Structure 1
Amino acid sequence: MFLTTDTFNTIVEHCQNSQIGKILPNALYIHSSAIAALDPILQQYEQQARMTDEIEQATLVKFSTEKPKISYLFYPDFDNDPHPALTLSIVVDLQTKQTNYWDYSDSNNPPILHRKETFVTPDYPQYEEFAHLTYIEEALGLLNLSRSIGTRLEWEKRLNRYHLTFENHSLVCLRPLSSTERLQIQIERHKAAIKRKSLSRPVRLALEAGLFTPETTFFDYGCGYGGDVKRIAQAGYDSSGWDPYYFQDHPKKSANIVNLGYIINVIEDLKERQEALINAWELTSQVLIVAAQVLIDDRDRGIVAYGDGIITRRNTFQKYYEQEELKLYIDQVLKVDSIPIGLGIYFVFRDENQAQTFRISQVRSHFSTPRIQSQLKRFEDYEPLLTPLMEFFTERGRLPVTGELSNELELKQEFRTFRQAFKVVLQVTNQEDWDNIAEKRRQDLLLYLALSQFSDRPSIKELSDTVKQDIKTLFGSYQKACMVADIMLCQVGDLEKIANLCQNSPVGKKLKSALAIHISALESLEPLLRLYEGCASRTIGRLEEANVIKISWQTPKISYLFYPDFDENPHPTLHSIMEIQLGDLRVKYGDFSRHKNPPVLHQKDALVTSNYPFYEQFSQLTKQEQELGLLDNLKEIYRLEGWLNCLEKRSVILQGHELVMNNE
């Protein structure tokens, strides 16, 4: 390859657009094992620099994008050291053909590597191990201000400040603890108990999910001060609990619903932690609720790594899980397929049939029974008799079969068949409304079946008789339904298709590279977009209280945002956000609750459907703001201070969802 200015510019372009390797402003770095995966032009270019046999042992190759130079970097402990040190650099100038050597083997402060997974391809044997370490370091803030941690001494200073060191690719205490020292640390688990004024999140979510019936019995395994036990009893349920510190004399009782809330994360002993999970499961006859702390940046609380968890300054152990790690732990110990409900919260069903019914309920669209369009004497006479039939069709998207309707006997005595009875309903309602319900129920089932591929899709025998009949009526067979679901699942990774659906969606606010919707509008989206969002909510769960969902198409990502007082506040500010990268299910959190200048929401009407209760109110405000030019520069009013300045400049104030002149 003859090196001209144009040729080098081509090399630079290929470096900057490389799909593999670590791209920096002035160079592309890549592991030697990944050279073969580079663009052929870069491979040919790199071959010209191999002027000495020593280069064959290099760990990384650096393509300079400023000058026609290639550097060969030697990190002998790349695989074993989480942050290996540079021992030798060989720089080859492809114009002058000169080779320069830089020896760091005797340096007490050599350059070191971070984010090792960025240099290799995903099929590298230790890729997952490298990536996991980077994730933990990012979550703890260790990689912030990366320019100041490029050498060994600076990196060690930061680790010392956080009281951390490494054992292989795991973060642990500053110095490894001997077994004697571990025994000397008295973990006071009871101090982790929290005095609550209301139900804990896991139990509240179980109530909201409809898991409690009048006959339900409840047991809280590790109940702490007993707040949940007391409040569930006050709600009219048979409720009891046990705690090794506060209620150790209470018996451990079997119950329909057992709560293991934030218990496994305060047990420092691995074996004991596993036993607690198994014991709680053995007491469960219907549903086990498992909740644990998930990994967040807690460095401001003064925490240090301890074993596979941390010890807080209150001397209580806390095991912080990643969301997927928690699911894997539950599933492996109990040999189940737990269902994510929220951050760090899972439901485990004893009966697989009940589990699948619950999964379907999570993706079921909400409908009202079609409105009566006209009055007919015959319908009026039979309306009380026909109402259960109409409600059943609204719920299932089909007519019932024998044994499914409570007033079947009376209905058949009058009309002989369900179909004949429904003909009377069709005389006063719109056929299209019922067809839409059937199609939506069909889409709901497709969504459920597609998402079930992320675990073990159930066999037809594991489904309830009602769901079996749904599938038979709406698809013809389970095999056909699964085939259609799999076809849809294959399309979910097509970002071009996702982008097209987002950009042409009749619902939602179209952003530069995403579609934002209110959570109530989710079921109005195209089935493929619902599936795209389901890939996040089915595997990780949604941010609790999230009321806005952002569907990104430039990169596969779903964001859940919480705006308090969405309905009441004309321009609510962002409280918190959770972003889920669909490629690797990485989760990022942002808390704006104490931020002095948080992002603010505009054009709420664009996020909801036209039948949203406050749509007209939202729409009128947006129209008023557009007419006054308040929304002309969205960048300037993205945050609260900018928005308030904009209102002040225009001498207007908001009174509810109405703009009025400020006469002060």
Structure 2
Amino acid sequence: MIPETRSIKRRLTAITRDALSVPARQAVLDKQILPGSSVLDYGCGRGGDVRALRRMGCEAVGWDPFYQPDVRLQPTAIVLLTYVVNVIEDPAERRRTLAHAWELAGTVLIVSARLTWERSKVQGEEFSDGLLTRRKTFQHFFDASELRKFVEDVTGVRAVSAAPGVVYAFKDDAARLTYLARRIFTGDQWLTSDDTSSAIAALIDYAERRGRPPRIEELPPRMTQQLRQLRPEEVRRLVSNAAEPAKLTEGAKRTTLNTLLFLAVELFNGRGPFTRLPLTVQLDIRTFFSSYKEACQRADRLLLKLRDDDYVRRAMTASKAGKVTPTALYVHRRAIERIPTVLRLYEHCASIAAGRPHGWTVGKLCHQERAVSWLDYPDFDTDPHPRLLTSYQVDLMTFKTTYRSYSASDNRPLLHRKHEFLHPDDPDADKYRRLTGAELRAGLYERPHLIGKESGWEQELLRCGRALRGHRLVRNRK
């Protein structure tokens, strides 16, 4: 990374922060950074992430050509390149900087940059392939998929978009596959075990959720110690006798579908050999499929079905979770894992291409085109008609992304019939369904073209003489 020039003042883009930056926080949430991890913040600016990571118990150091130029650079397991490539005005230097950061990374390189939707927030004149601001700083704004492609071109490995504007590049492809598996096999944590009895209970719980008993190599180290006095055949017998057959059957079905989803996602992002798969996934394939080849063939067919408009539309219609409209399926994030596997694949492919945002409430999967949107209704659970805050969409045909914020709007879109976005067995579905029934009886949905936004909805409430008290509809006494 070359120091700033007289005409470009890169140091002025560094901000003071006490909490973790968005990319570093994402890496912590994704378990790429854990307490004790060795982290180099390459281009650390004023060092906010370094201080925050040290408080977490990480061995973190930062280097910056202006603020920390004397720190000796050496290979480190995890390298952060946080909002650096976007402030470099020379495209060739931008690539060299990324390449150097990649050389320093022992395990994973985490790259982040500002995205195209932020361009409207910055005033400046066209310069190189970006903007030169009045403060003599430079900004190149990436499209989310452009950033992933840039990282892949320079590093020569398959990268994954962890979130909009945050990309992971792994030195070992097995680590990439482990990360992908963690995104798909959610809720795979072991129960806490303090003694032999609770360790056996945790084994039974795992077997019922996975559909098969675990191998000793899969056990957490502490649990291995707790069970050391038992022979492997005794453990298998205890699990086999105590596990409920119905739960084992349901777990096997779920694991089979998740494995197909994982293999299809892997092909979307480049499939590797069987031996590079996470051990748990290898064991799933050996248990539930006749061979790796058969599992891959079934996953390939699943991926091909994404191109079939009729098949996708039928899957949406058949889904017990979510609301189907003439153009798309809308489904709450609590129900996203309950939709058909081909639709889960649809959403996962979009997330890997351009990053799934951290804050989202409802996913929108189009069936007339191939595009996924993540819509954020932050008050979904408390507001009977939550207002839309942000929308982030990726077009799977072009990989272009669009983002829109409604925070400054005084007439935001809002939701009705909230129960339709959930799975029928969601604990809140009945409460929302009762409200919808009351609103229908009151005539509030007689003019659907008016009620999609705040002002029209308020007018209809006044017309019908109704008001809302939480999730109850009452007569307006005014």
- Which residue of structure 2 lines up, in the alignment, with residue 69 of structure 1? none
- Which residue of structure 2 lines up, in the alignment, with residue 222 of structure 1? 43
- Which residue of structure 2 lines up, in the alignment, with residue 400 of structure 1? 214
Cα distance change on mapping 1:250 and 1:185 into 2, 3 Å: closer
Deviations 1:321-376 (A, max 9, x none): 22222112111111111111111110112222121111111122437999xxxxxx
1:20-419 matches, within 5 Å, as: 186-296=7-117, 298-299=119-120, 301-366=122-187, 383-394=197-208, 396-405=210-219, 406-407=223-224, 410=227, 413=230, 416-419=233-236
Cα distance change on mapping 1:338 and 1:662 into 2, 3 Å: same
Amino acid of the structure 1 residue aligned with 2:239: F
Amino acid of the structure 2 residue aligned with 1:458: G
Cα distance change on mapping 1:185 and 1:472 into 2, 3 Å: same
Matched position secondary structure for 2:358: coil
Q: What is the Cα deviation at residue 383 of structure 1?
A: 4.8
Deviates more, 1:193-202 or 1:553-562: 193-202
Matched position secondary structure for 1:260: strand
- In structure 1, distance between residues paired with 2:327 and 2:152: 36
CA-based RMSD:
2.6
8 Å Cα contact 2:207-2:239 kept in structure 1: no
8 Å Cα contact 1:545-1:562 kept in structure 2: yes
Deviations 1:207-230 (A, max 9, x none): 111223332122211112221112
Q: What is the Cα deviation at residue 437 of structure 1?
A: 1.5
- Which residue of structure 2 lines up, in the alignment, with residue 504 of structure 1? 318
- In structure 2, distance between residues paired with 1:403 and 1:448: 21
State the TM-score, normalizing by the size of structure 1. 0.66
Cα distance change on mapping 1:253 and 1:391 into 2, 3 Å: farther
- In structure 2, distance between residues paired with 1:345 and 1:635: 38
- In structure 1, distance between residues paired with 2:424 and 2:196: 33
Matched position secondary structure for 1:360: helix
Matched position secondary structure for 1:218: strand
Deviations 1:170-200 (A, max 9, x none): xxxxxxxxxxxxx997111111122335321
Establish whether residue 539 from structure 1 lines up as the match of residue 366 from structure 2: no
Deviates more, 1:532-541 or 1:354-363: 532-541
- In structure 2, distance between residues paired with 1:233 and 1:206: 15
Residues paired across the two proteins, number: 469
8 Å Cα contact 2:210-2:248 kept in structure 1: no
8 Å Cα contact 1:579-1:588 kept in structure 2: yes
Matched position secondary structure for 2:381: coil
Amino acid of the structure 2 residue aligned with 1:260: L
Matched position secondary structure for 1:578: strand
State the TM-score, normalizing by the size of structure 2. 0.91
1:345-494 matches, within 5 Å, as: 345-366=166-187, 383-394=197-208, 396-405=210-219, 406-407=223-224, 410=227, 413=230, 416-426=233-243, 429=244, 431-494=245-308
Amino acid of the structure 2 residue aligned with 1:261: T
- Which residue of structure 2 lines up, in the alignment, with residue 41 of structure 1? none
Q: What is the Cα deviation at residue 272 of structure 1?
A: 2.4
Q: What is the Cα deviation at residue 578 of structure 1?
A: 1.9
Cα distance change on mapping 1:475 and 1:409 into 2, 3 Å: farther
- Which residue of structure 1 lines up, in the alignment, with residue 388 of structure 2? 574
- In structure 2, distance between residues paired with 1:193 and 1:593: 26
Deviations 1:101-157 (A, max 9, x none): xxxxxxxxxxxxxxxxxxxxxxxxxxxxxxxxxxxxxxxxxxxxxxxxxxxxxxxxx
Cα distance change on mapping 1:386 and 1:336 into 2, 3 Å: same
Show structure 2 runs of 5+ residues with no match. none
Q: What is the Cα deviation at residue 583 of structure 1?
A: 1.9
Identity of aligned residues (%): 32
Cα distance change on mapping 1:638 and 1:336 into 2, 3 Å: same
Q: What is the Cα deviation at residue 543 of structure 1?
A: 3.1
Cα distance change on mapping 1:620 and 1:509 into 2, 3 Å: same
8 Å Cα contact 1:495-1:556 kept in structure 2: no
- In structure 2, distance between residues paired with 1:258 and 1:297: 25
8 Å Cα contact 1:548-1:563 kept in structure 2: yes
Match of 1:598 among 409, 412, 415: 412
Deviations 1:15-63 (A, max 9, x none): xxxxxxxxxxxxxxxxxxxxxxxxxxxxxxxxxxxxxxxxxxxxxxxxx
- In structure 1, distance between residues paired with 2:444 and 2:19: 42
Q: What is the Cα deviation at residue 572 of structure 1?
A: 1.4
Q: What is the Cα deviation at residue 417 of structure 1?
A: 4.3
Q: What is the Cα deviation at residue 231 of structure 1?
A: 1.5
Q: What is the Cα deviation at residue 512 of structure 1?
A: 2.3
Deviates more, 1:637-646 or 1:589-598: 589-598
Cα distance change on mapping 1:262 and 1:361 into 2, 3 Å: same
- In structure 2, distance between residues paired with 1:558 and 1:579: 6
Cα distance change on mapping 1:368 and 1:502 into 2, 3 Å: farther
Q: What is the Cα deviation at residue 402 of structure 1?
A: 4.4
- In structure 2, distance between residues paired with 1:592 and 1:464: 41
Cα distance change on mapping 1:404 and 1:297 into 2, 3 Å: closer
Q: What is the Cα deviation at residue 446 of structure 1?
A: 0.9
8 Å Cα contact 1:412-1:418 kept in structure 2: no
8 Å Cα contact 2:145-2:400 kept in structure 1: no
Cα distance change on mapping 1:300 and 1:367 into 2, 3 Å: closer
Higher RCO (CA 8 Å, separation ≥ 6 residues)? 2
Cα distance change on mapping 1:395 and 1:284 into 2, 3 Å: farther
Amino acid of the structure 1 residue aligned with 2:172: D
Deviations 1:259-289 (A, max 9, x none): 1011011011233222221222222222211
8 Å Cα contact 1:621-1:659 kept in structure 2: yes
Deviates more, 1:543-552 or 1:361-370: 361-370
- In structure 2, distance between residues paired with 1:202 and 1:629: 47
8 Å Cα contact 1:367-1:437 kept in structure 2: no
8 Å Cα contact 1:214-1:237 kept in structure 2: yes
Matched position secondary structure for 1:588: strand
- In structure 1, distance between residues paired with 2:128 and 2:112: 20
Cα distance change on mapping 1:575 and 1:471 into 2, 3 Å: same
- In structure 2, distance between residues paired with 1:507 and 1:654: 26
- In structure 2, distance between residues paired with 1:513 and 1:469: 40
8 Å Cα contact 2:108-2:169 kept in structure 1: yes
Q: What is the Cα deviation at residue 633 of structure 1?
A: 3.0
Matched position secondary structure for 1:304: strand
Cα distance change on mapping 1:368 and 1:252 into 2, 3 Å: closer
8 Å Cα contact 2:435-2:473 kept in structure 1: yes
Q: What is the Cα deviation at residue 442 of structure 1?
A: 1.4
Cα distance change on mapping 1:616 and 1:267 into 2, 3 Å: same
Cα distance change on mapping 1:385 and 1:262 into 2, 3 Å: closer
